[in-house]
Chain A
Amino acid sequence: MTADSLPQPTVPRARKPQSGMMRAFRNPSVVIGGIVVLLMIALGAAAPWLGTMSPTEINPSGRNKPPGTIVTRRDDDGNKVQVMHRLGTDLLGRDVYSRVLYGARISLFVGVTVAVFSIFGGLIIGLFSGYIRWLDPIVMRVMDGLMAIPAILLAISLVSLFRAGIGAVILAITIPEIPRVVRLVRSVVLSVREEPYVEAAITVGTPTLKILWRHIMPNTIAPMIVQGTFICASAILVEAILSFLGVGVPPDVPTWGNVMAAGRDVFYLFPHNIFYPGVMLAVTVLAVNMLGDGLRDTLDPKLAKRL
């Protein structure tokens, strides 16, 4: 008899997240947060058609203009064109409106990528660490050590190892997040490991990898979705912080942190450089956090109680 011919106890379990999903769609924080996030994605995706110009184009004659200024530029054919800078220009004459809209792309991309990478990394390490007893103490000591270094500090120091770029920033934000995911996955594994259906699977000689994937991993899906959402919010914040400090994505790339970094020195005279990306950033992070709160309440009631 193989494990496949046994009655599958995971089948009724597998339905639970679905009903949770249906409940999630009726939760007001999920709906509001989700709509705002979708709006931000739409803004980023549709940036070229929303009356923007090149977000990296420098215009020395139109530097530091307040919002609403009309500046005369020359286009590629040498003709004079009047351009309206809705949100003003920065200290190199770049259009803040365009940079902020294009910035949504990078911020959301970094947020989602970090969430996906850290969830997968943490999932794999956590599954093995929780299930294989001799591995557990070693892995957990390393994770404790990583968690002892404050996240932003760890990210900043990791950035210094690589050449500046989005990839380096993503990696530097992902690594500090992994230990938290590992701990969460491991705690689920430890509680599930002793369940009768896992013991049954071991008894019939199911290979360890299959037990981990088929019987244990599905239990981590709901908490992982919730955790991933919170990681996404924090990654967006940390990316902005790194760029703002000047150690993140190269300064010409339009990200919210970079727009703010460019506005730092001229803040007293031209606060628009800081305010518009700041508002976008805050609204996005707030929306993602609301989404996470709502998902936690509906998908993972046990976690909701603990917090």
Chain B
Amino acid sequence: MFAFILRRLLATIPVLITVALFAFLLLRLTPSDPAAIIAGDTATAEQVAGIRAKLGLDEPIYTQFFIWTGKLLHGDFGESFYFKKTVAELIADRVEPTLALALCTIVLAILVAVPLGVIAARLHGSWIDRLMMGFSVLGFSVPVFVIGYCLLYVFARELRWLPSNGYNRLADGFGPWAQHIILPTLTLSVVYIALIARMTRASMLEVLSEDYVRTARAKGQIERRVLFRHALRNAAVPIVTVIGLGIALLIGGVVVTESVYSIPGLGRLTVEAVLARDFPVIQAVILLFSVVYVMINLAVDVIYSVLDPRIRY
């Protein structure tokens, strides 16, 4: 198993290099000169040339790539054009809301979607099953921000139960934090629940027709145990895979949800950076999200081999 993990880890290296190359080229492909942007409108030609030399922009492009990657590995993401802070500081400021939102969503989605999918598979063909499938198609089609505004309309505007925007740090108290995180979490969960529930149902349907499920029932095992112990464990691999792959969907959703609820997280930072053409920030955010995505899927692959000893690569 250790060899497998090592091999899987090595396989992510070319992927990460491609991502880094893309992020690097993003800055270089822009028609504008980064040195001129940093220097500002009033700078003289000498000042621009000085900044260019300082940043290594006068080196050949492949040298620049190595310099840039070397800095990255030391945690130096450069300096934001727009916010006039280092990118690392900027990200550190913004990471908490995004992390809180993403974790709450993942937990909620799994807690809701897996039982939902199991029940739908157990009652295959019933109205509950059809309702669940209908919900899942709907979940894929209704855009995140429309869901967000519907929830805002009902719970913030009409009922006035929850605040409509902003974020409260967890350090400032659990109550206000929870109040602010509920609506965004619900909003973001919908598509993720649809995805996981659908996969759970499909995977369970396949497993429920297996002989060992019949055997378990024949020996008088209670149905809940048959479903969750015998069937779900064997149906787990595709479900865990889709949870991992769904992280990409989640990251996209975070960007939108944070804009709907004005949450000062990484998603909002991405949009602000694009609007301001703040390329070092865009680069860093892309890298960060992609690395997280790749690493989660690496973890998922490792979890497989623990969950299912039959799998050996």
Contact = CB atoms under 8 A, between A and B. Distances in A.
B182 interface: no
A144 B143 contact: no
Contact of A285 (B22, B29, B143, B251): B143
A247 B141 contact: no
Contacts of A84: none
Nearest to B297: A148
A145 B153 contact: no
A282 B142 contact: yes
B120 interface: no
Given A160-B279, A271-B153, A286-B138, A149 B286 contact: yes
B106 interface: no
Nearest to A156: B274
Interface string B234-252: 0000000000000111011
A267 B152 contact: yes
Contact of B277 (A160, A241, A279): A160
B286 A245 contact: no
Nearest to B11: A144
B290 A149 contact: yes
B80 interface: no
Interface residues of A, number: 41
Nearest to B198: A307
B256 interface: yes
A142 B256 CA distance: 27
Interface in A85-109: none
B30 A246 contact: no
B146 A274 contact: yes
Contacts of B271: 156, 245-247
B143 A281 contact: yes
Interface of B: 14-19, 21-22, 26, 29-30, 137-138, 140-146, 149-150, 152-153, 157, 164, 202, 247-249, 251-252, 255-256, 259, 270-271, 273-275, 277, 279, 282, 285-286, 289-290, 293-294
11 contacts: A146-B22, A148-B19, A150-B293, A153-B285, A160-B26, A241-B144, A245-B256, A245-B259, A246-B275, A247-B274, A268-B157
Given A246-B271, A289-B141, 13 more contacts: A148-B290, A150-B293, A152-B255, A153-B255, A156-B255, A160-B282, A161-B30, A241-B256, A247-B275, A271-B157, A278-B146, A278-B150, A282-B146
